[in-house]
Structure 1
Amino acid sequence: MIKYEDGHPSALAIKKLQRLLEVDHETSELLEALQSLQLPGNSDFAVRKLLIDMNSVDILLNLFDLYTPVGDYCLCTLLLNVLSRIIKGHSESVGEKHIQKLINSLFKLINELEENPSTDLKFSLIAAIYSVLHLSCTKNERNRTFISQTQTVAQTINFFMRIAELFDDLPFNTFYPALKEGCGFLRSLTLDDDLDVEFGLGSENARTIAKSDLCLEVFVKLISKILNSSNVSGISDLFQTLSAIITREELCTKFASFNGIDILMQTIYSNINSTTLELHLSNPSTVRAACRAIRNCVSRSPELRSSFLTSDSGADTGLEKLLNSALKIPSCCDEAKAALRDLDCKVELQELWNGRSQSGLLNSS
Structure 2
Amino acid sequence: MVRVITQDTFDEAVKENMEEFDMNPEEAVQEAVEQFEAQGVDLSNIMKEVILDNSPTASRNKLTASLDNMGKLIQNPSGNEKAIIKELQELKDECDKSIAHRVLAGSFGTYSVLVDVLELFQSVDEVSTKALSAISALMSGNPDLLDKRGIEIMIKYLDHERNVDIQNKVLEWVKVCCIKHEQNRQEIFNMKIPTRLKMLLDKDTTPVTVRHVCGVMRALVLDDDIRVHCGKFHEHARELAAEILCTLTDLLRKFKDDRETVSDVILTLTALIVRNEFCEKVDKAGGIIFIMDVFVNYPASEKLNTLCLKLVKGLAGNDDVKARMVKQGIAPLIVSALHRHETSAALVGAGCTAITALSLRSPTNSKSLYDAGAPEVILQGMKIHVKDSSVQKQGSWAIRNIVSHNKMLCQGFLKLGAEDILRTALKLHRAECDYDARAALRDLGCDTEQL
Normalised to the residue count of structure 2, the TM-score between the two structures is 0.66
Compare CA radii of gyration and give the structure with the larger one: 2
Aligned to 2:196: 155
Distance 1:3 1:287, change over 3 A: farther
SS at 1:39 equivalent: helix
Match of 1:18 in 2: 71
Query: Secondary structure of 1:191's match?
Result: coil
Gaps of 5+ in 2: 1-51, 306-338, 404-412, 436-451
Asked whether the 8 Å contact 1:80–1:129 carries over to 2, the reply is yes
Determine if contact 2:84/2:127 at 8 Å carries over to the other structure: no
Give the match for residue 171 of structure 1.
Answer: none
Amino acid corresponding to residue 247 of structure 2 in structure 1: V
2:221 alignment partner, one of 187, 190, 199 = 190
The equivalent residue for 1:169 is none
CA contact (8 A) 1:288 1:332 kept: yes
Q: CA deviation at 1:108?
A: 1.5
> 2:135 matched to 1:83?
yes
Are 2:119 and 1:65 equivalent residues in the alignment? yes
Cα pair 2:348 2:381 within 8 Å, conserved: no
TM-superposed deviation, 1:234: 0.6
For 2:96 and 2:235, locate their aligned partners in 1 and report how far apart those are by CA, in whole Å: 37
Shift in Å, 1:49: 0.4
| Alignment partner of 1:102 out of 131, 137, 154 | 154
Residue correspondence of structure 1 range 29-40 to structure 2 within 5 A: 29-39=83-93
The 1:12–1:180 alpha-carbon spacing in structure 2 relative to 1, beyond 3 Å, is farther
- Indicate the residue corresponding to 1:142 in structure 2: 183
Which residue in 2 is equivalent to 1:362?
none
1:222-233 mapped onto 2 (5 Å cutoff): 222-227=251-256, 230-233=257-260
Give the alignment partner of residue 247 of structure 2, picking from 208, 218, 241: 218
- What is the aligned-residue identity percentage? 21
Q: C-alpha distance in 2, partners of 1:32/1:320?
A: 59
Match of 1:126 in 2: 167
- Within 5 Å, give how 1:280-291 maps onto structure 2: 283-291=344-352
Deviation sequence 1:96-154 (CA, Å, 0-9, x none):
22111111210113xx5xxxxxxxxx111111111111111122221211122222111
Distance 1:94 1:140, change over 3 A: same
- The alignment status of 1:179 with 2:206, answered yes or no, reads no
Pairs within 5 Å for 1:46-57: 46-57=100-111
2: CA distance, partners of 1:5 / 1:143: 33
The TM-score with structure 1 as length reference comes to 0.80
Is 2:321 aligned against 1:267? no
Unaligned runs of 5+ in 1: 113-121, 167-174, 355-365
Q: Decide whether the 8 Å contact of 1:206 with 1:245 is kept in 2.
A: yes
Counterpart position of 1:325: 384
Q: Distance in 1 between matches of 2:385 and 2:355?
A: 13
Alpha-carbon separation, structure 1, partners of 2:374 and 2:107:
65
Alpha-carbon separation, structure 1, partners of 2:225 and 2:72: 36
Counterpart contact for 1:226–1:234, Cα < 8 Å: yes
CA distance in 2: counterparts of 1:201 and 1:310, whole angstroms? 42
Which has more helix, going by share of residues?
2
Superposition deviation, residue 89 in structure 1: 1.2
CA deviations over 1:59-92 (Å, ceiling 9, x no partner): 1111011111x3x223212211111111111111
Q: Which residue of 1 aligns with 2:272?
A: 245
Within the alignment, does 1:338 sit opposite 2:391 as a pair? no
Question: What SS class does the counterpart of residue 88 from structure 2 fall into?
Answer: helix
The alpha-carbon deviation at position 330 of structure 1 amounts to 3.7
Deviation at residue 296 of structure 1 after TM alignment: 1.1
Distance 1:199 1:40, change over 3 A: same
CA distance in 1, matches of 2:390, 2:104: 38
Q: 1:310 to 1:54 in 2, by over 3 A?
A: same
Cα offset, 1:34, TM superposition: 2.2
- SS where residue 260 of structure 2 aligns? coil
Alpha carbons of structure 1 residues 161 and 301: separation in structure 2 relative to 1, 3 Å: farther
